Structure 1
């Protein structure tokens, strides 16, 4: 009955989603309060029904119900409980149920906590959200049903992809999907605003918390994926410009631009058209990512290998929502009133510059990712666009943006004084210059641009600290007054500073590990020694060990620094008997200066083994920076001004469409 219950719940959820899509929108057109009120219970009911289906599928995985095809193909009775649970979303069908569950969760959130929204706007938002739910529930039920039965039921399953049997992969997809799908709420708000005929500062206040929550989840989701690839795949790197990595990075870039644009709109009632367009583009890029992962057009360690026919269905969904949204935008946007006027040198101008760079960088990644696919579809010619393209296009674009980031918070709204800002950032500039000189002195062997990159990261961190110091009037008022001002700063001020400092930490980590990474690939017999970055590794040999659902070869290295032994490293090669495949597990020693990273390769002649050893300087700062960005977003999200929201009268009094003349 578990499978039947889950399947029936999805069908009921589809019916509720259709009601949610049609009745509130019709009620909004007719100004019928009763029809508009249907949106709230419909969104809540849809969430409960999809949650019931998800719990039913999870129960089938935990109990190893191999009478369900999806469980049979992606699980086994020998799998640890954690991976039985994560196996629910480690495949195409189950992950789509999670996708729709998060979609319904955001809709239920607006239904439950959006009571201060104008009734018509809330009805239209939930109607658009319901339309997205209809499309993807239809996709699941007709092409990707996770509850298909097997008769007779097998006694054992085929197992789960060994590469995905990892703690980080247990939480990476939920965060990533929460980011992907969370941007649907910004999309729904944008379409609702175009339908409803109102877009103003109050609208920006309402949409920002949902956009910020999605951005936070996508940030930590991308970081978890990078961390997993670093230690699980055995490549020793953190980012490979894989097309599926890019698929999540593109909406992050445009979502970051959307957050800044919505801030300008909230504070100055400006950039209305730009903000609406960014909301549409960001979710459109999320749909593109969903298509790339599930269409079968890519071969990637991150992609689901599925029937391309499913990709055609998703392509149809993209055509309807992206094409329809852009058509509506082209029709309604010219009628929107323009907002406040501002000088180029102003906080608005800085945020516009920020947005232009982010969108251009996103376009560069988009072209590099999709051009090979487009070329192959037209000419049947296969080409590969790898890291050199992205490094030579993306990096030069973001450098001026990173230089300008600390300037923005110091500029006044409407018209700023660049000379005064430069004076306030003088201490930060001196600290960054000192960092460049120190790194030049320590790393005299080059590469020569790397110290400038480290200085840029320090500039971002020092600039964020300078902003808080300026707001608290450090050294300009008494200690008591400074402390009083500091503790009463808005949470969003701390959040912004933390997010910018997090970017600086990640920049330092990326530059350091890219510029000064060392690598040693050698053949080693027991008792032999290799040296790297001041470490000496003594190879003790390889032993056999049994795991819960695998057998592994366990290598042992004693690690010395000078004459002192500091740790032991145990990289392994695991053979999963049920799945019939193997994985490589790196062993990593983390020190303040960086990671010592060892990987066991294949056995060679005369009892030797291939061994790869890396030293990655300051690499952990990349993920620490992402966590700091996440925490900064969380502080901003819990700012009282966002939690309280904007009053209804603000939406009623401002921002209606101009009458066509």
Structure 2
């Protein structure tokens, strides 16, 4: 019965979404306040119904109701409870239901917390959001029904894909979807503004917090996905330029540009047309990623194998929203004011420079991702575009952007002084020179690029802190008054510094592990040992072990460091009988910021030895620590009252009330 309730709730959610698609926008056109207010009720009700539908599917998984085809295909009665729950979104149908529920969730947030929005803008935003929701609900009901029944009901399920039975799956997809789908709000605001034909600094103030929320979640989701693939797949890499990885990375690049562009628009009423276009392109790239993952055109560990019917349906949605929004933009762009003017050397100019390189980088990743697909359609020839292409194109685009990053916050609005900004960075420049000289000396000149990379990381780390030092003005007012000034800075200033500092930490991790990691592939018999990364690793042997729904062969390795015992590590090869699928469970030992990584290969025919791959990865955890710092910087910025939705309006109301008193 609960399954039928879930299906009915899904159908009712579609009905409410269709109502929300029409009535608020009609009310905005006719000035009918009652019609506009229907958006608030329908957006909230639609989310409640979708949450009920998702809860019903979750109940079917938890109770192992194999009469539901989706549960039968992706669950097993012996699977641990955690993976029964995460299995809800570990498949196409369930993940699409989560996708749409998050979409409705953001619409409900706008309905409930957008009280300070102009009534017509709010109505148009909710209607545009409902257009997207309706399209994907139709997609689910007609091609991807998660509640389809099987008769007769099987006694046991086929189990979840083994590589998805991991704690990372409980975290990675929801974070990623909150980022992907969160950009729909910026898209809806952009289309709503184009419908009204009016856009101003207030629009940027309203849209920036929603964009920041989506960016925070997408940053965390990409970082979590990177780490999940790193330890779960057993290949030892932290980024592979997989097409589906690129599908999430492209909207992150575009969303980062949108976030900076919205700052310029809010502060200086400039870059209006560019900001609107970025809002459209960012969510369009999110839709493109959804198409790539679910259309079956890609073969990837991340992709869902789907039939062509689903791919065509999503392609139609893609064309409708991307084509429609860009057509509306083309029609309205000439009627929008361009905004204020500014000198090339200014904070606005620095942010434009930032946007130029970010969007070019996103376009580069897009070309590298789509080119093999287009070529296959045209010629039938299959090729792959891998890491060498992206390293040679994406990397050079990032270097000038990262070099310019510390200058931006030090330049004045409208007209800045580049020389004055450079003088404030004198300590960072000296630290960079010293770092490069020391790195070249230590590596005997054999790692020139790595030495320059270390210099770039130090430039970002110290350069990001220079803005805080300059604002405190310690040199003139002293440390006590300087610290007092720091306490008075808005939280968004600290958030910006922390996010930029996180970029420096990430760059330091990437440069170190890319230049100095070691890899040993060898056949080891029990008792054999090898020295790796300051450790002596001795292979103790392999033994069988049984899990709740798998069997595994566990290799044990004894570690010693400087002659002292350093514990043991385990690495395993698992086999899942229900799926008839193997997985590799890597052994990882973390010491400070570096990791020892061991992955088991195939045993010899006579069982006397086993192929073992051992990596030492110096400073690799800085990659994910830097990503976390970036997301945390966004959270701190979001905590600034000035960035909260509607805060400026409430502040004015409170000021007016105090004046009357």
Query: TM-score, normalising length from structure 2?
Result: 0.97
| 1:108-127 alpha-carbon deviations (Å, 9 max, x no partner) | 00000000000000000000
CA contact (8 A) 2:593 2:622 kept: no
Measure how far apart 1:562 and its partner are: 2.4
Aligned residues of 1:202 and 1:650 also touching (Cα < 8 A): no
Aligned to 1:483: 483
Structure 2 equivalent of residue 429 of structure 1: 429
**Following the alignment from structure 1 to structure 2, what is the Cα–Cα distance between the partners of residues 120 and 211?**
21
**Equivalent residue number for residue 636 of structure 1:** 637
Deviation at 1:2, TM superposition (A): 1.3
- 1:187 paired with 2:211, answer no
Would the aligned equivalents of 2:521 and 2:611 in 1 still touch at CA under 8 Å?
Answer: yes
1:29 and 1:648, CA in 2 relative to 1: closer, same or farther beyond 3 A?
farther
**Residues 328-343 of structure 1: matches in 2 within 5 Å?**
328-343=328-343
CA deviation string 1:212-260 (max 9, x = no partner): 0000000000000100111111111100000000000000000000000
Matched with 1:260 is 260
Q: Corresponding residue for 2:418?
A: 418
1:472 matched to 2:472? yes
Question: Equivalent residue of 1:42, what SS?
Answer: helix
Worse-matched range after superposition: 524-533 or 177-186:
524-533
Give the aligned partner of residue 505 of structure 2.
505
Aligned to 1:407: 407
Deviation at 1:436, TM superposition (A): 2.0
In structure 2, C-alpha distance between the alignment counterparts of 1:644 and 1:17, rounded to whole Å:
24
Q: CA deviation at 1:440?
A: 2.3
CA distance in 1, matches of 2:220, 2:363: 22
1:357/1:589 Cα in 2 relative to 1: closer, same or farther (>3 Å)?
same
Q: Which moved more, 1:39-48 or 1:588-597?
A: 588-597
Are positions 1:229 and 2:229 aligned together? yes
Q: What is the root-mean-square deviation in Å for CA atoms of aligned residues?
A: 1.3
How far residue 428 of structure 1 moved from its aligned partner, in angstroms, is: 1.5
Correspondence 1:237-386 to 2 at 5 A: 237-386=237-386
Q: What secondary structure is seen at the aligned counterpart in 2 of 1:478?
A: helix
Equivalent residue number for residue 220 of structure 1: 220
Alignment of 1:518-597 (within 5 A): 518-592=518-592, 594-597=594-597
C-alpha distance in 1 between matches for 2:434 and 2:98: 49
How many angstroms apart in 2 are the aligned matches of 1:593 and 1:637? 29
Contact 2:115 2:646 in 1 (8 A): no
Alignment: residue pair count: 651
Partners of 2:605 and 2:357 lie apart in 1 by 54
Rounded to whole Å, the distance in 2 between the matches of 1:331 and 1:190 is 14
Q: How does 1:85-164 map to 2 (within 5 A)?
A: 85-164=85-164
**Equivalent residue for 1:166?**
166
Residue equivalent to 1:626: 627
Residues 525, 539 of structure 2: 8 Å contact kept:
yes
Instruction: Provide structure 2 residue ranges, at least 5 long, that are not aligned to the other structure.
Output: 653-661
Q: Give me the whole-angstrom Cα distance separating, in 2, the residues matched to 1:154 and 1:446.
A: 63
Contact persistence 1:182–1:214 (CA under 8 A): yes
For 2:650 and 2:320, the matched residues in 1 are separated by 34
Query: Which residue of the partner structure matches residue 609 of structure 1?
Result: 610
Displacement, 1:432?
Answer: 2.3
What whole-Å deviation, never above 9, does each CA across 1:34-71 have from its counterpart, x for those lacking one?
11111101110010000000000001101111110000
| 1:446, distance to aligned residue in structure 2 (A) | 2.9
C-alpha distance in 1 between matches for 2:200 and 2:623: 37
- Cα contact 2:641–2:647 (8 A) shared by 1: no
Separation in 2, partners of 1:591, 1:295:
42
For 2:648 and 2:521, the matched residues in 1 are separated by 63
Provide the residue aligned with 2:11 in structure 1: 11
Summarize deviations over 1:324-358 as a string: whole Å, max 9, x none: 00000000011111211100000000000000000
What is the DSSP-based 3-state SS (H/G/I as helix, E as strand, rest coil) of the residue aligned with 1:160?
A: coil
1:334, 1:565 → 2: CA distance? Answer: 72
Q: In structure 1, the residue corresponding to 2:477 is in which secondary structure?
A: coil
1:74-93 deviation digits (Å, cap 9, x = unpaired): 00000111100000000000
Q: Distance in 2 between matches of 1:433 and 1:164?
A: 46
Query: TM-score, structure 1 length as denominator?
Result: 0.97
Say if 1:429 and 1:445 are closer, same or farther in 2 by CA, change over 3 A: closer
Q: State the partner residue of 1:396.
A: 396
Inter-partner Cα distance in structure 2 for 1:90 and 1:114: 33
User: Which runs of structure 1 show a deviation greater than 4 angstroms over 4 or more consecutive aligned residues?
Assistant: 646-651
User: CA deviation digits over 1:161-200, x for unaligned, max 9?
Assistant: 0000110111100000111000000000000001112211
User: What does the per-residue CA deviation read over 1:9-29, in whole Å, with 9 as the maximum and x for residues that have no partner?
Assistant: 010000000011100011111
Residue 382 and residue 650 in structure 1: after superposition, are their counterparts in 2 closer, same or farther (change >3 A)?
farther
SS of aligned partner of 1:475? helix
Q: Deviations 1:511-566 (Å, cap 9, x if unpaired)?
A: 11111111000001001111223321111100111112111111111112221121
Task: Give the drift of 1:434.
Answer: 2.1
Tell me the secondary structure at the aligned position of residue 448 of structure 2: coil
